[in-house]
């Protein structure tokens, strides 16, 4: 591992009696990997990042980079400027009185003039902005300014780059373009990076590995596919993607265990829990919007309660006759009216179950995290 966080805890002075802001978090990044920390506001993402930068001491655990202990709970704290870590923070503005070129040169002032000029040129070309070298920051758009902040952070050739919501003040389209650009720039420069965001689309676009944090703890550290299809905890299932929980019962069937749900029996050769996994086999089953397929010939019928147009598809909120609610992505040429009953079936590759917390007549507990568009179920 190039970067290793080993059971780190961060505790703020005065808040000693309360829970630590970061609690026993462990994660690792290989050289050149991009890690992303995602989670709701206040979960400790920034505190974890700041501890890697050396801006917060550790209350416990240790941070090791390239074999060197940078921080530890027993007093090691290498100064931020000695870590060779680059930072692009949300509030890390460009110096307004310096030209773009001089902003980029800021961290390499010690280099001989020619070498410095060549490096500035190289960095500006890397971010596609060589033509603005002599402009002032206020003459650039927000997206361009963030690209320059990135060039400035990369100029001293840092061993690690830390980014804390660098695109949060930009509009959605620009954010997703910049996230893709950033990924390709980091890959071209073989930069190892740790990125903090609360936007899961940004996390998916950028991260080789993504960590979901809640209340100071890291719930799961995995690639995006595994987070989505194999969430380790109910919180991760809730936080990533669109879906609902419906009550299910695991039963022994002739071909192996199946989970009986209001949308039929779900089987999976690998991974379906055994009937003994839960008391009386009763559990909650995660059904993602893409697990529910619209099929006119299907026996199960559901009533459309809401629909949201997404271009190529609708996100339908459906109600089963048994009371449970479901979400379904349906190609947008299937344009049904609210109140209409449509046929559906479940096509589930990975059956994800958790301890039962739904109650018999409350129906599904909604989980959804396109946080901007959270499905609020009545
Ligand atoms: N300097 C500080 N002093 C005391 N408590 C702090 C300080 N900075 C953060 N905290 C607390 O630590 C916890 C974690 O905060 P942190 O900023 O790391 O979360 P976050 O996940 O980055 O949130 P956001 O997405 O809102 O930036 C919060 O409860 C916060 O109030």
Atom 17 of ligand 1, nearest CA residue: 46
Last residue of a domain, one of 228, 261, 294: 228
Judgement on whether residues 99 and 174 belong to the same structural domain of the protein: yes
Among 228, 248, 277, where does a domain finish? 228
Residues in CB range of 329: below 8 A, 6 or more apart: 242, 289, 290, 292, 310, 313, 314, 315, 316
Which pLDDT score, from 0 to 100, does residue 371 have? 38
The alpha carbon of 3 and the centre of ligand 1 are apart by a number of angstroms equal to 23
Q: Indicate whether 206 and 275 sit together in one domain.
A: no
Supply the pLDDT for residue 178. 83
The protein residue with its alpha carbon nearest to ligand 1, atom 30, reads: 42
317 in ligand 1 pocket by Cβ < 6 Å? no
> How far is ligand 1, taken at its centre, from the CA of residue 12, in Å?
9
Q: Decide: 42 in ligand 1 pocket, CB within 6 A.
A: yes
pLDDT digits (tens, 9 = 90+) for 350-359: 889 998 886 5
212 lines ligand 1 (CB under 6 A): no
Asked if residue 312 and residue 224 are part of one domain, the reply reads: no
DSSP run (H or E) holding 345: strand 341-346
Pocket test for ligand 1, best of 9, 36, 45 (most atoms within 8 A of CB): 45
Quick one: angle between helices 172-188 and 142-154, nearest 10?
20
Say how many C-beta atoms besides its own lie within 10 A of residue 247's C-beta: 22
pLDDT digits (tens, 9 = 90+) for 233-256: 999 998 998 889 999 998 888 888
Residues 221 and 109 in one domain: yes
Q: Which parts of the chain sit beneath pLDDT 70?
A: 15-17, 91-92, 268-275, 358-378
Residue span of the structural domain in which 312 resides: 240-373
pLDDT in tens, 149-197: 999 999 999 999 999 998 887 787 788 788 888 899 899 889 999 999 9
Using a 6 Å cutoff on CB, does residue 94 contact ligand 1? no
Q: Of all atoms in ligand 1, which is nearest to the CA of residue 48?
A: 18
- Ligand 1 atom with least separation from CA of 196: 22
Instruction: Give the end of a domain, one of 179, 205, 228.
Output: 228
């Amino acid at each position: 591992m190039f970067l290793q966080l080993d059971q780190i805890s961060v505790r703020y002075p005065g808040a000693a009696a309360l829970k630590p802001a970061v609690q026993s978090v462990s994660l690792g990044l290989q050289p050149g990997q991009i890690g992303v920390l995602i989670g709701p506001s206040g979960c400790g993402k920034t505190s974890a990042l700041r501890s890697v930068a050396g801006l917060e001491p550790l209350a416990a655990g240790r941070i090791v980079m390239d074999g060197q202990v940078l921080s530890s709970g027993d007093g090691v704290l290498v100064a931020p400027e000695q870590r060779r870590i680059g930072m692009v923070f949300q509030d890390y503005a460009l110096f307004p009185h310096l030209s773009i070129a001089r902003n980029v040169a800021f961290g390499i002032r010690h280099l001989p003039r020619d070498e410095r000029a060549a490096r500035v040129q190289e960095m500006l070309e890397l971010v596609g902005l060589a033509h603005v070298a002599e402009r002032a920051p206020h003459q650039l758009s927000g997206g361009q300014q963030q690209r320059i902040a990135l060039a400035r952070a990369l100029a001293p050739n840092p061993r690690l780059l830390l980014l804390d919501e660098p695109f949060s003040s930009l509009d959605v389209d620009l954010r997703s373009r910049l996230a893709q650009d950033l990924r390709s720039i980091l890959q071209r420069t073989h930069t190892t990076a740790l990125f903090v965001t609360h936007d899961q689309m940004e996390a998916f676009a950028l991260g080789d590995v993504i960590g979901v944090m809640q209340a100071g703890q890291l719930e799961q550290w995995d690639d995006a596919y595994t987070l989505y299809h194999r969430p380790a905890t109910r919180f991760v299932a809730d936080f990533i993607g669109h879906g609902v929980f419906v009550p299910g019962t695991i039963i022994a069937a002739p071909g192996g265990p199946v989970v009986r749900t209001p949308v039929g029996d779900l089987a999976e050769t690998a991974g379906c829990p055994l009937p003994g996994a839960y008391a009386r086999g009763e559990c909650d089953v995660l059904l993602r919007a893409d697990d529910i397929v619209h099929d006119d010939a299907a026996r199960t019928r559901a009533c459309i309660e809401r629909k949201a147009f997404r271009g190529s598809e609708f996100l339908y909120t459906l109600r089963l006759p048994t009371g449970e609610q479901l979400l379904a992505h349906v190609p947008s040429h299937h344009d049904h009216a609210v109140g209409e009953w449509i046929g559906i079936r479940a096509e589930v590759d990975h059956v994800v179950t958790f301890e039962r917390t739904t109650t018999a007549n409350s129906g599904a507990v909604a989980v959804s995290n396109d946080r901007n568009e959270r499905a609020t179920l009545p």
